[in-house]
Structure 1
Amino acid sequence: MTARTSPPKISFREVTRSFPVKGGTFTAVDRVSLDVGEREFVTIVGPSGCGKSTLLNLAAGLAEPTSGEVVVDGRRVTGPGPDRGMIFQQYALFPWLSVRRNVEFGLRVAGVGAAERRRRTDEAIDLVGLGDFADALPKTLSGGMKQRCAIARAYAVDPDVLLMDEPFGALDSLTRVQLQDQLLDTWRQQTRTVVFVTHDVEEAVYLAGRVVVMAARPGRVHQVIDIPLPYPRTEETRLSAEFAALRNQVWGAVHHQEAPAEPPAR
C-alpha cells in the first residue's frame, strides 16, 4: 500500500518559501526536496515553525514558492485544483447547511448533475459513518463528527491527493484514535495519496508508511523514516515492540535536533 513508484505523485523540488517581515525576510521552508509516491501515506512531523503547513499550502496551490517548484503528476502546481483535496484542523463547515449540503458543496460548484451529485455525496457520507446524520446541521454534531463531515466533503470530489493539516489536533484522545482508525479504513477502501501533518509523534507513526521529520529555522527535511508496519493497523500495532521502537526513533529525531547556528552579527 505504501510502495513508492516512479515518477512520484508529488515532488517538492528545491522549494523555498520566504515572507517579508519587519527588518528582513522570514524563510518558512528552505530548499526542501521530497518525493511522495502514488497511493503513499506520508506524515510530516516536527517542531512548531518548521514549515509543515507551508508545505501543504504549496502542494495545494494556496501559496507559491519563492523558488523551486511543486509538481503533481508531472505538472507544476500553479494554483488549487480538484485533483487535490485539503482538510484543515478547523472544520470550515457552512453552519447553515446540513451534512449532506456541506458534503455536496464542491460537487455543486463543479457543476456535477443532481443524480451523480447525490450518489457521490451519499457514498462519501456512508464512508465516514455519518449516514444517520446526513440531514443534521453542524451545530448538532460533535467535534469528531464535524471532522468526519469535512473528510467526506474532500472525498466526494474524488481527489487523487488528500492533504491534511492537523485534522485531529483539536479532538480528545479517544475520538482522535477512533478517527485515525477510520481514516486508515477509508484510505484502504479508496486508496489515494495522503500527506498528513501532525504534531503528534505516535499519530505520525501509526498512520504512515513514511514519516518526514522537519527541522526549524529555516524549515527543512531533517530525516525521513520508513515505517515497515503492515496494514491494517490495530490496537495490537500500538502495543507492539516494533511500534514502540519506531515511535522512539521518530521522537528522538524530532526532539533531539541540534539547534541551527545563529547568524553572525552584523
Structure 2
Amino acid sequence: MNVKISFRDVVKTYPLKDDTFTALDHVSLDIADREFVTVVGPSGCGKSTLMSMAAGLVEPTSGEVLVDGSPVDGPGPDRGVIFQQYALFPWLTVRKNVEFGLKLMDLPAEERRRRAQRAIELVGLADFADALPKMLSGGMKQRCAIARAYAVDPQVLLMDEPFGALDALTRVQLQDQLLDTWSKDQRTVMFITHDVDEAVYLASRVIVMAARPGRLHKVVDVDLPYPRTEEMRLSPEFGRIRNEVWHAVYHQAPAVPAA
C-alpha cells in the first residue's frame, strides 16, 4: 500500500486545573494514496483532533503524523481543509472566494481565474460564479468551500463534518456530488462524520473511534463498488456493513483505566 497519511502512536493531552485530559491515546493509522476514508465515533473520541493534526493545526503531545513520509509541521497547500462552517467571505463572489487561496500563492491573475473556473465547474456552480454568498443556499455555500479547497490542487482533502449542518436531502445530494468529483481526480480524502450511513456510503474504509480516551476501536472495510448509487443504500450488503459500524460506534465497552 502506498501510504499517504500516517499516524504513528499519536497521543494528545491537554492540561486541566488539577489533572490532564487525554484527547487521543496511542493512535496508529495509515491512509493510502487516493483512498477515501471516513472517521466516525461518539462525541469526545478525538475525530476532529486527529484531522487537525493531519492539517497541521494541532501538534501531537507524542508520536508523529506523516504525509508522504514527511512529518507534518504546520498547514500546507498539499492539504485542503473543509469545515462544517462555510467560512466564505460575504463581500466576495463565488469566483473571488475560490480564487482567494490562489492569490495567496502569488499566481498570475489569468492562472488564478483558469484554476478557479475549473474548480467551480467541478462542483456544479458555474451559473453562480459571480454571485455573492448571501444569494446561495447552504448546500451551494458548502460546494463553494469545496471548490476553494480543490482550486489550490491539494493532494489530500481533510473534511470535518462538512455536511453536518445541511438538511437531509441536500446532504445526500452533496454526498453524490463529492463522490462524483472524487472519481474524476481521486485525491486522498479523510472525512469526519457523526452519521453512520454517510460514513458507509462514502468510504472504502470506515475508521471507528472510541472515546475517553480517544482511540482506534475498529476498522470496517466497505466492500461496495464505486460509483455508489441510491439503490445501493437499500441493498442487504449496505445494511450489513451499516449495522456493523453502528454496533461498533454505539455499543462500545467502556474504556478500562490504565493501572
2:87 & 2:24 partners in 1: Cα distance? 26
In the alignment, which of 135, 146, 154 is matched to residue 151 of structure 1? 146
Give me the CA root mean square deviation: 0.9
State the distance in 1 between where 2:229 and 2:159 align. 21
Residues 1:40 and 1:263: Cα distance change in structure 2 (over 3 Å): closer
Question: Paired residue for 1:122?
Answer: 117
CA offsets per residue over residues 128-162 of structure 1, 9 Å max, x none? 00001111111111100000000000000000000
Task: Describe how 1:57-72 pairs up with structure 2 within 5 A.
Answer: 57-72=52-67
Distance 1:218 1:62 in 2: 20
How far apart in 2 are the matches of 1:39 and 1:233? 17
Of residues 160, 171, 174 in structure 1, which corresponds to 2:155? Answer: 160
1:167 counterpart SS class = coil
Residue 47 (1) aligns with residue 51 (2): no
- Alignment partner of 2:23 out of 20, 28, 37: 28
Q: Cα offset for 1:30?
A: 0.7
Q: Output the CA distance in 2 between the equivalents of 1:205 and 1:136.
A: 34
Q: 1:177 aligned to 2:172?
A: yes
Q: Distance in 1 between matches of 2:151 and 2:173?
A: 21
Matched, 1:38 2:33: yes
Aligned counterparts, 1:62-141, within 5 A: 62-141=57-136
The residue that corresponds to 1:239 in the other structure is 234
Give the letter for the 1:238 counterpart: R
Give the aligned length: 259
What SS does structure 1 have at the residue aligned with 2:29?
A: strand
**Which residue does the alignment assign to 1:17?**
12
Cα offset for 1:260?
1.6
1:227 equivalent in structure 2: 222
Cα offsets for 1:10-50 (capped at 9, x unmatched): 00000011111121111111110000000000000000000
* Aligned with 2:212 (options 197, 210, 217): 217
- Three-state SS of the structure 2 residue aligned to 1:104 is helix
Are 1:199 and 2:181 matched, yes or no? no
Alpha-carbon shift at residue 261 of structure 1 (Å): 3.1
Q: What secondary structure does 1:111 align onto?
A: coil
- 1:250 paired with 2:240, answer no
Which residue matches 1:186? 181
Work out the CA distance in 2 between the residues paired with 1:93 and 1:24: 38
> What amino acid sits opposite 1:21 in the alignment?
L
SS of corresponding position for 1:92: coil
- Deviation of 1:190 (Å): 1.1
SS at match of 2:131: coil
User: C-alpha deviations, 1:221-262, integer Å up to 9, x for none?
Assistant: 000000010000000110111000000000000011001235
